[in-house]
């Protein structure tokens, strides 16, 4: 039969899931079946055992995805089982403010409208963030209801609620007093736009760049050590040149100095098993303030850490004539200057993995920063 000729009344005999499921869900929610006391008739004693699941609160940075659906479904299965098994049960719902990530979403929206958060001002920008929270949060809660999960909606919390803020402060102070939280300078992943990043916030991409072989003259000698690097803009922060202690080519030079190009600063030659004798020339520069591995080497050999650019990636006075320029934009000019002075041995094509900020795509820098750990 042609569907267009069917009796409209016959179509109603089918299972209209959107209507039926939403209607029964509203009914269960209104009657409080998802709340702690909503299933008292199933409790096996006046003082039943308790069971609680704290919903990992989804970020108000967008909408739910298939991963959320899987997680919430599994949690809801366990919650329903415990209710039917006579437990006093709480499935605690919530939403997470996800500070910087949410700020980044709102900033991109403003930029698309030709607006800037700095021009907009702090109060107006915060108001925009709250507007987005209400929009995204509302969408997420509707998605949860459509999934059919059964949290205690009357207890819905947001991680910026005053009560939760107070709880975070209390826990922080307690852990600080117990020595479990410390503040110190340490090497971290740094984005010049978004600041400190955790390891999971760094995304690695294949980068087709260059390997620069720099000549570091040996003090009181006509010879030079050839040092290979992919980041010539950081050489201003070098505080040593490093060779493998088992490398017969260079072991007699340990304890001597080389002269840092352009700046003419003497730095020592040190031996460390970290060096791969097969990579490049077998000599590597040590820049403790701008490389994760060099940071550890610097601590082992008591080397100073010289920071050569600020938190925005702008080269400072330690970069000599290049101070005030963006560290990546200055790379070509720095290489050109080194070539003019005869400090470039050769340049080769080179592919490596470069970390990018997952939020904005900027190249992530190893950077010494004062942070809480």
Nearest of 311, 309, 364, 368 to residue 185 by alpha carbon: 368
- Measure the CA angle with vertex 348, ends 345 and 352; round to 5°: 130
Is the pLDDT assigned to residue 62 strictly greater than 90?
A: no
With bands split at pLDDT 50, 70 and 90, how would you rate the model's confidence at 27? very high
CA 60 – CA 277 distance, rounded (Å): 49
User: Worst-scoring range by mean pLDDT, 79-88, 119-128, 278-287, 303-312?
Assistant: 119-128
The pLDDT tens digits of the residues spanning 189-233 come to 999 988 899 898 899 999 999 999 999 999 999 999 999 999 999
- pLDDT of 360: 85
CATH fold label, 16-177: Rossmann fold (3.40.50)
Rounded mean pLDDT of 130-144?
Answer: 87
Cα dist. 234→15, 31, 69, 314 in Å? 67, 65, 46, 12
Is the pLDDT assigned to residue 124 strictly greater than 50?
A: yes
- pLDDT of 319: 95
The domain locations on the chain are 16-177, 200-372
Strands 344-357 and 365-372: unpaired
Rounded mean pLDDT of 89-118?
Answer: 84
**Is the alpha carbon torsion for 102, 107, 113, 117 positive or negative?**
positive
Rounded mean pLDDT of 337-347?
Answer: 96
Q: Which two tokens stand for residue 157?
A: 């919390």
User: Worst-scoring range by mean pLDDT, 49-53, 120-124, 166-170, 253-257?
Assistant: 120-124
Cα dist. 356→21, 197, 230, 237 in Å? 44, 10, 16, 22
With bands split at pLDDT 50, 70 and 90, how would you rate the model's confidence at 11? low
- pLDDT of 51: 97
Is the pLDDT assigned to residue 56 strictly greater than 80?
A: yes
User: Worst-scoring range by mean pLDDT, 103-107, 135-139, 243-247?
Assistant: 103-107
Is the pLDDT assigned to residue 80 strictly greater than 60?
A: yes
Q: Which CATH number fits domain 200-372: 3.30.1490.190, 3.30.460.80, 3.50.50.60, 3.90.740.10?
A: 3.90.740.10
CA 273 – CA 282 distance, rounded (Å): 11
Is the pLDDT assigned to residue 242 strictly greater than 50?
A: yes
Q: What percent of the chain is modeled with pLDDT above 70?
A: 97
Domains 16-177 and 200-372 share a fold: no
Q: Which two tokens stand for residue 37?
A: 């006391």
Q: What is the 3-state secondary structure (H, E, C) of the chain?
A: CCHHHCCHHHHCCCCCHHHHHHHHHHHHHHCCCCCHHHHHHHCCCCCCCEEEEECCCCECCCCCCHHHHHHHHHHHHHHHHHHHCCCEEEEECEEECCHHHHHHHHHHHHHHCCCCHHHHCHHHHHHHHHHHHHHHHHHHHHHHHHHCCCCCHHHCEECCCHHHHHHHHHHHHHHHHCCCCCEEEEEEEEECCCEEECHHHEEEEEEEEEEEEEEEEECCCCCEEEEEECCHHHHHHCCEEEECCCCCCCHHHCCCEEEECCCCEEEEEEECCCCCCCCCCCEEEECCCCCHHHHHHHHHCCCCCCCCECCCCEECHHHHHHCCCECCCCHHHHHHHHHHCCCEEEEEEEEEEEEEECCCCCECEEEEEEEEC
- pLDDT of 99: 76
């Amino acid at each position: 039969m042609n569907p267009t000729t069917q009796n409209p009344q016959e179509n109603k005999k089918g299972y209209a899931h959107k209507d039926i499921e939403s209607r029964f869900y509203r009914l269960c929610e209104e009657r409080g079946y998802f709340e702690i006391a909503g299933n008292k008739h199933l409790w096996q004693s006046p003082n039943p055992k308790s069971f609680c699941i704290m919903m990992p609160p989804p970020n108000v940075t967008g909408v739910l995805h298939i991963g959320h659906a899987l997680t919430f479904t599994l949690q809801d299965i366990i919650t329903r089982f415990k209710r039917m098994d006579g437990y006093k049960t709480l499935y605690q719902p919530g939403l997470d403010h996800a500070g910087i990530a949410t700020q980044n979403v709102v900033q991109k929206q403003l930029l698309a409208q030709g607006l800037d958060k700095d021009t907009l001002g702090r109060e107006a920008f915060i108001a925009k963030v709250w507007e987005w929270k209400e929009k995204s949060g509302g969408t997420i809660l509707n998605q949860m209801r459509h999934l059919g999960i059964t949290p205690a909606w009357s207890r819905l919390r947001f991680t910026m609620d005053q009560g939760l803020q107070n709880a975070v402060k209390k826990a922080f102070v307690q852990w600080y007093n117990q020595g479990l939280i410390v503040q110190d300078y340490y090497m971290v992943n740094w984005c010049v736009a978004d600041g400190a990043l955790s390891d999971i916030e760094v995304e690695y991409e294949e980068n087709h760049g260059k390997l620069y072989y720099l000549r570091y003259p040996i003090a009181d000698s006509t010879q030079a050590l050839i040092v290979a690097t992919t980041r010539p803009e950081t050489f201003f922060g070098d505080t040593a040149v490093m060779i493998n202690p088992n490398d017969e080519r260079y072991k007699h030079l340990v304890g001597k100095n080389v002269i840092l190009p352009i700046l003419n600063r003497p730095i020592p030659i040190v031996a460390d098993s970290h060096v791969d004798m097969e990579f490049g020339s077998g000599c590597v520069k040590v820049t403790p303030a701008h490389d994760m591995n060099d940071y550890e080497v610097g601590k082992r050999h008591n080397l100073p850490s010289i920071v050569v650019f600020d938190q925005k990636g702008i080269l400072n006075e330690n970069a000599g004539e290049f101070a005030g320029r963006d560290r990546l934009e200055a790379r070509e000019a720095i290489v050109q200057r080194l070539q003019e002075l005869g400090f470039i041995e050769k340049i080769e094509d080179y592919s490596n993995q470069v970390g990018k900020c997952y939020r904005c795509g900027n190249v992530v820098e190893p950077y010494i920063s004062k942070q809480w750990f």
